[in-house]
Structure 1
């Protein structure tokens, strides 16, 4: 590989921090942060997570990082002056934010709820559950499916399907929805008590809603109606293909001619649904000639539901109404209505109002800035990035680029050491990595130089209509911004730079790190490199490795499925694929067998099958980051180790690397939250992401001199994307 290091030497040696008594501020701050949670009384070879996280964990700042960033954006928005020169986008964010704050400060709860009824329920003839028995009248089925399509198209409220239309390729893609409760809670008998609690909370919420709006609810009818709607949701959940069984992309792509598709699933009024979904009342969607059905068995179930009479249309409409309530959770902050999403801290991935949920119990202003981040993500992102000094933000980006180059080189060396991959397979891995798209910080093409906002405003041109309007109603503003959302997001940078996140997309073979992630506990430019490589470089390695986990390995350098046979797709030849399967099975077995992290309750163990992709990425990514750190020391510092941290002199820089990684995952979850995560999240809980990762890495046990008998130095390890566990650094 061509060396990239000389171009970084000048940058690396620049000093951005002051020193006192020869110790930089960055080193002092890093030491203070590490000491805040470190518990030296715990043997790191026995329980490394407890060693890194036990002391003072409840005060650890990671949980507050996202909120601190949003608070800074809030302060900037509120500081905008009437005479200040602002871009059109910034003015639109300011106007929407002010309307939101005003609404929260002086909300007429009945008026807001009445508007919800007029906008969403009147087209359905009302919500049957809140009407007197026999008063609701069934809809024409074409009208029913028009409503379903409109909810999904305009407001991303998925009910029976999760769909999209690709007009460029004349393609209709049909997928199963994501239910707000998670499949396990709805179908597994050990959660029957939680399911009944969910049902009762829905009834309480609807009872309060009806009381506020003046509906004379029939109590028995309300209870029966919501119970039937929940029963339907349970049956829908039983038909869903579990996530861990839906990772074979070959079997998830089933193409039909559109005519054959409508004949195969005849009980749905597809033309009405698609007309509304596409927003084309004149039938322009008719150019669609192909349907791609991702879960045929689920779609067949839905078609059967609408062909039979087990479920009345009244129950189906009540189910749709509950989905509307869950998407419009923001408006229930006005009244003492139970949180409809209590069991599910994150809304559906397709939902728009996702990021307001972390502000659900905070004050109105925090809720409002969270909503701006959801509705106008690049608007708040621009405000945030613009507030960072140019020198600081550019230094962080250059650091990320340097780390990425070292991580990529290290990962490819790891792959080259693997004996079960053929030479042809290794070349394909190298080619895919070479084609990787790297996106750091923010969408530079849209944000420009932060002086000329022409491209930013062009991207948000639909907001000019809102800005010029005399709109003073928050409810209508939210609906407008929800409908406009598809026009203000960026396919190249799909999240706001304010979101603390990094992600890999196999369909584009791209790695993205939002600027918000360039903060402690993952990174600070003047912190020791051991700290930064453990946090940020391990994140880079993690996301890079997703290109080669159980899902990513099915995609080629161009983001297309590759090497497809009758039963699977994959980058590797058959023998190499068998080696990959054995590697993945080791990870699956280990995570399921060790039963991390709960010791009691209905569900205690990480599901190794469900979490295998994230576990593979954790293991490969951290190893690549460690090797990258050692390359940095050898090449940039000529092998001279970094200074030890004040007050932590007993720990070598290598040990600080591991401690920093462990601290990166310090967090406090109660048992209910952990149980939810174990049921639904593709990530393992934090304790597992530390202990079960480092125990598989030889260099960790070597750096801490762990005896063979202790848990962090097991006799058997899963070797993930490497066969070389003994290289000396």
Structure 2
């Protein structure tokens, strides 16, 4: 048979299949759903089924839910099991029976059986799944989807199909666990072409039948049909219309972050309400609410308080919060437990409400109020409508302030009410008032007007401005002048800005959780809590122990001469340095680790690099002995030495002065930080036998053999190690060998090495030690630098058990939609970067194409690693951390006895830890053991391939990074918070703030360091020589530009800050182009009332205001000398003065400070 006939037969068969699909008749339709508990959402779903007379089967009622926490992570496999069991039970009735399977808690059906079947038949399919904008739960599968118009990705919250085919599909899930992901299972079935064709599966790409609301709220609107006269009652339909696809979907799913919008739509759909009829489904009597003067609480707070029922406006904060007893004098029956709100949607916790109806401290006031109403049979929906004009009170109003009426809450109370308090609010407080009820189960109880929320958002922006400054002269002080004026440095802070403020907000969230006695923790989270508790208890114990824990630890690592009685001749550099570094992970001189080999990033390798001191090398080299900072440092060393048993102050001071001088000698051979930026020059791979020849002051083979003994890993002379800056180790070896030549110099060496162990641990000791550190810190940075004990403990716990703490933070504070929306924004910024890259004229084509490949290969990590939401995986991560309890004995004059105290222990190191259990100073021991644990984590990597999905930061951290050996950018949940990012803010602000941060990290892949790594994360020269020369010429422009910026007597180091400055500039360019493209495509132009700025101007204001900060002069000096980042003022000015788009937005004349003639540009 020839080929043409085969093709003809194929198309005939294909057409027959089409005919079968088209003409297959439907016997009947059954709606099937899973609901293990009856909730308000289920009742709403069930009501919609009854309204349209749909047959239904509800599976799993009163059964335990084993499908995981699907609101926070993947799961839902139990739904597949229950569906499979149901289809098995009706197996003899499958013939042409149509099954509509939907979620129940967040779904509304808005059509009858005939309408649903008719729409289904238009697909010519056996099974139709709903679709959505986001690829969940495995984003990597997005590339496997067939190309199509409309929404591309399968959603398993709604699908319809013949029972026969559905039964075959779910039977493929025999091995699926209840807590596996149902959507992932169906997705993989759909993506297999053989299954897609065999079962006749299609997606509803254009919302013909199914409407998923997540990410599509702006696409839909309510429409009403004309009123129809029925025999017994009036009936009118309310439809949901998709403006983009011009369809009327019938199954409405509030998936993901769209639960609240679904609640709003639920007030109209399924014949709930119609403008010409009103409430169609109920005649319930209206309920009279007892007088409750909420505004009383508002005024009593003497500040903007998180008033209940500010609909979708959770931006109100205050440092002044009413405590419980302040407002129990009025409305005794309505108690409101007040809590800090972090811009989160309220979460109701039943276990926070006691038997008397009183709420716990963590409960949101609005949720508590709703709970009380529900106990009284009242369901409440809150809305804000209308606003009113404002009459100024001329003798008090300050017209220099934007929204000056915001300040008049006390001086102009009556007009303030008119402006911001909804008129129906005060009516609802009257004793004889009846609450209006616009539709079924909905009570209209508005509190504030929309203008309140709008002004509040605008207020925070405008309040930070100083409009007396010309933005074209100094945009930093224009954008931040108001903020700087209103934010003096807090006590004990050397620097303060949005990063610090957000860090403190995140710490407060964690504190509240750690101290919540009713909170249930996973095993890993419990370990973090115990570590935190031990830190919080430290002062009770450590003050009584004084210097003893450190003295015993010094004895354990070999002693020193400061405390006297030291035998220097018996001291061995090899054994003691090995003990400090490779058993206890403490001490200085140099550092080593196990990490990715920069020239073969798939493998881990030993690496070795120079160490550092508490002060930068410039302080040692450029300061005389009489300099204030050097004197303060020597005073600090002397006080600590005396406290540790150093005898008289003069002899201790003399010994410590020699330690200081030895540190100065080491500083002279340290490679300056700006010279460490060229990884090609600093990278040197060699064998340990070669290192022994380069730096013979210790036997490196024996040194590392001891380090890897706990895991029984053999180390020999052929072991590879990457040595960064070999010249440092060669010079260090010479210096140390000189000091080993006689006992006096050897004593100085010993004291210096032990001091490098003691100095970082001073904060773990009693108050006299900490006071000595504070005095020195005050001189060094202009502030004591100390924080509340609980903040210190949150920070320390996060550094040790970061992902366990991250799990707590993400569950408590991170909004799920932020992760999805952030991924979209990153893609938009990456696309903008690539578009700009493709138009560069200074790059040769070969290098440009490779650069494009590298940009395409950059992966991103958003919020947190998924494993932290899986309790089993998280517990496994910290299985090697055990918590042991030791019975406390009568020691050190303690009065209490027989109390259990907690000590952390780690595997493979029990012999060491036996020596470390020194009775009761638990936190001191925990901190030592934590360092041992971190060392153990390092050494276990040695023979394993690199894990390129491993996070280098914990989720609560307010930061972001680019990892060159992974070619990866990461944005922890800690920074995806206001003011950097908020899904409810105008896009201009999000792109200007978080968008630039994203572009900044992306650009690091192509800065002076990142450009040396290829798309696979390997260090080698992949640029053409001519392009490198042009790149360096452009880099020189940035170096010269930033080196001109001066703060006090110090100039910014343009070479040291080069990479960060290039990233700032490239990040701004990419984020702005991504924003303008989005703005053009979306057509949105949201202008906040009272803000007379264009969208482009808001973008640049959003960028600048995240860098608002105040600093002590000393802190700025340290930043200029040590930090690769330019101080905030010039990060803003330097970046924006290179941006033509900024100058256009603010009409800055050419030659003005912010629009110089010469501009630097690379990316």
The interval holding the TM-score normalised by the smaller chain is 0.7 to 0.9
Offset, 1:692? 0.8
Pair 320,24 (structure 1): closer, same or farther in 2 beyond 3 Å:
farther
Offset, 1:110? 5.1
In the other structure, the counterpart of 1:331 is: 764
- 2:215 paired with 1:11: yes
Pair 478,25 (structure 1): closer, same or farther in 2 beyond 3 Å:
farther
1:58 touches 1:667 (CA, 8 Å); kept in 2? no
- 2:583 paired with 1:148: no
In the other structure, the counterpart of 1:680 is: 1122
Deviations 1:162-220 (A, max 9, x none): 1125699695322111222112112124896144234333234325523xxxx361333
- Aligned counterpart for 1:589 among listed residues 1016, 1040, 1044: 1040
- Aligned counterpart for 1:417 among listed residues 818, 839, 861: 839
Deviations 1:556-604 (A, max 9, x none): 11111122xxxxxxx31111111111111110011112x23x1x33xx2
537-546 vs 425-434, greater mean Cα deviation: 425-434
1:27 touches 1:527 (CA, 8 Å); kept in 2? no
**5+ residue gaps in structure 1?**
348-357, 564-570, 722-729
Give the structure with the larger helix fraction: 1
Pair 108,589 (structure 1): closer, same or farther in 2 beyond 3 Å:
closer
Q: Distance in 2 between matches of 1:47 and 1:74?
A: 39
The TM-score, its normalising length taken from structure 2, stands at 0.55
- 2:463 paired with 1:36: yes
Q: Distance in 1 between matches of 2:693 and 2:748?
A: 26
Give the structure with the larger strand fraction: 2
2:546 touches 2:765 (CA, 8 Å); kept in 1? no
- 2:635 paired with 1:201: yes
481-490 vs 507-516, greater mean Cα deviation: 481-490
Q: Distance in 1 between matches of 2:640 and 2:766?
A: 14
Q: Distance in 1 between matches of 2:550 and 2:710?
A: 24
- Aligned counterpart for 2:1156 among listed residues 692, 695, 714: 714
651-660 vs 409-418, greater mean Cα deviation: 409-418
- 2:458 paired with 1:458: no
Pair 87,467 (structure 1): closer, same or farther in 2 beyond 3 Å:
farther
- 2:501 paired with 1:297: no
Q: Distance in 1 between matches of 2:776 and 2:1031?
A: 36
- 2:510 paired with 1:73: yes
Q: Distance in 1 between matches of 2:456 and 2:764?
A: 41
- 2:962 paired with 1:504: yes
Offset, 1:59? 4.2
Pair 265,481 (structure 1): closer, same or farther in 2 beyond 3 Å:
closer
- Aligned counterpart for 1:659 among listed residues 1081, 1090, 1101: 1101
**5+ residue gaps in structure 2?**
1-142, 154-212, 219-257, 261-311, 314-383, 387-448, 488-496, 597-601, 888-899, 903-921, 939-946
Q: Distance in 2 between matches of 1:574 and 1:344?
A: 47
1:74 touches 1:369 (CA, 8 Å); kept in 2? yes
Q: Distance in 1 between matches of 2:451 and 2:579?
A: 57
2:638 touches 2:652 (CA, 8 Å); kept in 1? no
1:376 touches 1:488 (CA, 8 Å); kept in 2? no
In the other structure, the counterpart of 1:136 is: 566
In the other structure, the counterpart of 1:221 is: 651
In the other structure, the counterpart of 2:529 is: 94
In the other structure, the counterpart of 2:479 is: 52
Q: Distance in 2 between matches of 1:288 and 1:339?
A: 46
- Aligned counterpart for 2:592 among listed residues 156, 163, 183: 163
- 2:933 paired with 1:484: yes
Deviations 1:427-482 (A, max 9, x none): 1111111111210001113433xxxx100000010123548996432222222222
- Aligned counterpart for 1:123 among listed residues 556, 568, 590: 556
Offset, 1:7? 6.5
2:993 touches 2:1103 (CA, 8 Å); kept in 1? yes
Offset, 1:287? 7.3
In the other structure, the counterpart of 2:26 is: none
2:854 touches 2:1015 (CA, 8 Å); kept in 1? yes
507-516 vs 165-174, greater mean Cα deviation: 165-174
2:1137 touches 2:1153 (CA, 8 Å); kept in 1? yes
Offset, 1:643? 2.0
- Aligned counterpart for 1:438 among listed residues 841, 860, 864: 860
Q: Distance in 1 between matches of 2:672 and 2:646?
A: 40
Q: Distance in 2 between matches of 1:616 and 1:685?
A: 14
463-472 vs 667-676, greater mean Cα deviation: 463-472
- 2:809 paired with 1:384: yes
Pair 189,480 (structure 1): closer, same or farther in 2 beyond 3 Å:
closer
Offset, 1:361? 2.3
55-64 vs 15-24, greater mean Cα deviation: 15-24
- Aligned counterpart for 1:274 among listed residues 699, 704, 709: 704
Aligned residues between the structures: 675
Q: Distance in 2 between matches of 1:156 and 1:583?
A: 42
2:688 touches 2:717 (CA, 8 Å); kept in 1? no
Q: Distance in 1 between matches of 2:696 and 2:475?
A: 57
Q: Distance in 1 between matches of 2:994 and 2:927?
A: 35
2:687 touches 2:718 (CA, 8 Å); kept in 1? no
Offset, 1:654? 0.8
Q: Distance in 2 between matches of 1:696 and 1:671?
A: 27
- For residue 592 of structure 2, give the secondary structure of its aligned residue in structure 1: strand
Offset, 1:507? 1.3
In the other structure, the counterpart of 2:341 is: none
In the other structure, the counterpart of 1:367 is: 792
The TM-score, its normalising length taken from structure 1, stands at 0.86
Offset, 1:329? 3.3
- Aligned counterpart for 1:574 among listed residues 1018, 1022, 1025: 1025
Q: Distance in 2 between matches of 1:362 and 1:64?
A: 13
Offset, 1:539? 0.4
Pair 198,233 (structure 1): closer, same or farther in 2 beyond 3 Å:
farther
Structure with bigger gyration radius:
2
Offset, 1:425? 1.1
1:199 touches 1:226 (CA, 8 Å); kept in 2? no
Pair 217,190 (structure 1): closer, same or farther in 2 beyond 3 Å:
closer
Deviations 1:67-112 (A, max 9, x none): 111111011011043xx643111211222222222222x1343525
Deviations 1:354-381 (A, max 9, x none): xxxx996233323222221122111111
- 2:501 paired with 1:64: yes
- For residue 328 of structure 1, give the secondary structure of its aligned residue in structure 2: helix
530-539 vs 91-100, greater mean Cα deviation: 91-100
1:471 touches 1:477 (CA, 8 Å); kept in 2? no
1:130 touches 1:218 (CA, 8 Å); kept in 2? no
Q: Distance in 2 between matches of 1:111 and 1:245?
A: 45
1:275 touches 1:281 (CA, 8 Å); kept in 2? no
In the other structure, the counterpart of 1:541 is: 999
Q: Distance in 1 between matches of 2:724 and 2:643?
A: 37
Offset, 1:552? 0.2
1:107 touches 1:334 (CA, 8 Å); kept in 2? no
- For residue 664 of structure 2, give the secondary structure of its aligned residue in structure 1: helix
Deviations 1:621-666 (A, max 9, x none): 01100111111111223xx4x2222221x21111011111111100
In the other structure, the counterpart of 1:313 is: 746
Offset, 1:247? 2.0
Offset, 1:550? 0.5
